[in-house]
């Protein structure tokens, strides 16, 4: 039974399951404002539908669950001076993420391929996250002059050790094995099993028993787990400067991981890196709703700055890989600018509770 369908997102009721399929495979299922609003409305409807006892969300096409928000569209709106439209997107997205976090029924994300940015927001905050063999997580926002949002101020500081700070600052990629070890994923299964999982859940089968029947031995862990002690040592430093100093010392022995990590940080927007680091420092003490409000405050400031537009131009529009960050170095960033980005907005602020 199809409740609603359109070219971008498909909603179906299959037995006891409310099934959401993100359906922009050519765009790696990137979220548009209309998709976000439709998904939020459908989730609300299913929350009040006794026939639906669990929700499953997945992406079409096999390459990606969801690569994030439609950043190019946001870039074009911002460049055209339509700041109200850009903020409408972020607000709707963050409100959807907050609703997923507090959703009253089991919420299960079947994640095949890439999951980044907005895709993380509509999966990580749910109850169950099943990673396929092609799973690849990243929050790469510091590389486009933005910051790790969609609730990462709350989620990343709560990962084991200092792995959250590492992911926030670097935007590094994480495979299925590392994701399972860190708790980014709750289960791992072959993508070929996803249809059978949906069918069993549609029949009303027990969720954990269903997942256990379709999830083999966990995949091998990757470099993040292998380098965990070094990550914890370096990223427990009190500042980004000190993180880089510790990485440089570790790299002096010829080790590739600290050298590559330091190089990655230095390639990112200095302003974004410092914002991300501060998010991790503050986020430990924030509730989820407070973290989402903090991120909304940040986005209103970042969207009026230079680096977001320059980063998107470099990575997505012109694809030259040569961003002109302003300021260009960590030392040139005024600490007062970072502190001001976290300040409350003038006037009323949205609620994410």
Residue 283 annotated in active site: no
Tokens of 341: 């980005």
Comparing CA positions, the residue from 163, 193, 179, 26 lying closest to residue 115 is 179
Residue 61 annotated in active site: no
Q: Are 280 and 287 in contact (CB under 8 A)?
A: no
Catalytic residue among 97, 112, 149, 278: 149
Catalytic residue among 118, 151, 175, 311: 118
Residue 232 annotated in active site: no
Q: What are phi and psi of 151, to 5 degrees?
A: 90, 10
Which residue stretches of the chain are H helix? Answer: 33-47, 71-79, 83-101, 118-121, 152-155, 163-170, 176-182, 194-202, 207-214, 223-226, 228-235, 240-251, 256-267, 270-283, 288-302, 307-312, 335-341
> In 10 A of CB 140, how many CB atoms?
20
Residue 324, exposed/middle/buried by CB under 10 A (0-12, 13-18, 19+)?
exposed
Catalytic residue among 69, 113, 117, 143: 69
* DSSP letter for each residue of 178-223: HHHHHTS-SEE--GGGHHHHHHHHHTT--HHHHHHHH--SPPPP-H
Catalytic residue among 93, 97, 141, 227: 141
Q: Give, in order, the Cα–Cα distances in Å from 334 to each of 118, 294, 327.
A: 29, 20, 9
Residue 149 annotated in active site: yes
CB burial readout 194-226, b (16+ within 10 A) else e: beebbebbbeebebeebbeebbeeebebbbbbe
Q: Are 111 and 193 in contact (CB under 8 A)?
A: no
What is the distance between the alpha carbons of residues 274 and 278, in angstroms, rounded to a whole number?
A: 6
Tokens of 212: 């256990």
Looking at residue 317, what DSSP letter applies? Answer: I
In the chain, the largest separation of any two C-alpha atoms, in whole Å, equals: 61
Show which residues are catalytic. 69, 118, 141, 149
């Amino acid at each position: 039974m199809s409740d609603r369908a359109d070219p971008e997102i498909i909603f179906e009721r299959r037995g006891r399951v409310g099934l959401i399929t993100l359906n922009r495979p050519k765009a790696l299922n990137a979220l548009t404002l209309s998709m976000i609003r439709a998904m939020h409305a459908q989730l609300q409807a299913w929350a009040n539908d006794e026939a639906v006892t669990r929700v499953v969300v997945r992406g079409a096409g096999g390459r990606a669950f969801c690569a994030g928000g439609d950043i190019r569209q946001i870039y074009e709106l911002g460049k055209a001076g339509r700041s109200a439209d850009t903020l409408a997107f972020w607000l709707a997205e963050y409100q959807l993420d907050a609703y997923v976090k507090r959703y009253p029924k089991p919420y299960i994300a079947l994640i095949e391929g890439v999951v980044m940015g907005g895709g993380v927001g509509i999966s990580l905050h749910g109850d169950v996250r099943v990673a396929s063999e092609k799973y690849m997580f990243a929050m790469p926002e510091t590389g486009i002059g933005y910051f790790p949002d969609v609730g990462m101020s709350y989620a990343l500081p709560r990962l084991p050790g200092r792995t959250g700070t590492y992911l926030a600052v670097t935007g590094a990629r994480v495979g299925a094995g590392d994701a399972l070890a860190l708790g980014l994923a709750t289960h791992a299964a072959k993508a070929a099993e996803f249809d059978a999982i949906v069918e069993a859940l549609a029949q009303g089968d027990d969720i954990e028993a269903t997942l256990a029947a379709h999830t083999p031995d966990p995949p091998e862990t990757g470099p993040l787990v292998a380098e965990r002690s070094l990550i914890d040592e370096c990223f427990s430093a009190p500042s980004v400067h000190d993180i880089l100093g510790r990485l440089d010392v570790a790299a002096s022995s010829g080790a590739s991981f600290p050298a590559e990590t330091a190089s990655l940080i230095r390639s990112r927007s200095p302003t974004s890196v410092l914002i991300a680091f501060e998010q991790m420092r503050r986020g430990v003490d924030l509730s989820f709703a407070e973290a989402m409000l903090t991120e909304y405050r940040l986005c209103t400031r970042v969207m009026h700055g230079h680096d977001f537009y320059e980063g998107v131009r470099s990575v997505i529009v012109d694809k030259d890989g040569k961003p002109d960050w302003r300021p260009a170095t960590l030392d040139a960033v005024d600490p007062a600018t970072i502190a001001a980005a976290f300040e409350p907005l003038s006037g009323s602020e949205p609620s994410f509770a």
